[in-house]
Amino acid sequence: MTDHDIDRAVERLLGPAGPEATCDACFDHLDAYVDREVSAGDAEQAMPELAAHLRGCPACAEDHESLLALVRGRSR
């Protein structure tokens, strides 16, 4: 295990520092977040609690990546 791996583990253990949305709230607003990312590009600034949740919740982060990829019309 490298130093980077350890730091990642610590980050995952401690999660985001600030206030964050719940999983339910994340789902409710994920579409607006993604559309804002694609159109205005300022979703993280406009919806910081949702952005924090995406950093702390791997499942919601995957859902976000998929929706963003679909809306942008490309898959990995």
Q: In angstroms, rounded to a whole number, what is the distance separating the alpha carbons of residues 64 and 59?
A: 9
Site for another protein in 34-73 (CB under 8 A): 34-35, 52, 55-59, 62-63, 66-67, 69-71, 73
Q: How far is the CB of 69 from another protein (least distance, A)?
A: 7
Amino acid 59 reads A
Q: In angstroms, rounded to a whole number, what is the distance separating the alpha carbons of residues 41 and 38?
A: 6
Q: Find, among 57, 60, 62, the residue nearest to 12 by Cα.
A: 57
Note the residues at the interface with another protein (CB under 8 A): 1-3, 5-7, 9-17, 20, 22-24, 27, 29-32, 34-35, 52, 55-59, 62-63, 66-67, 69-71, 73-76
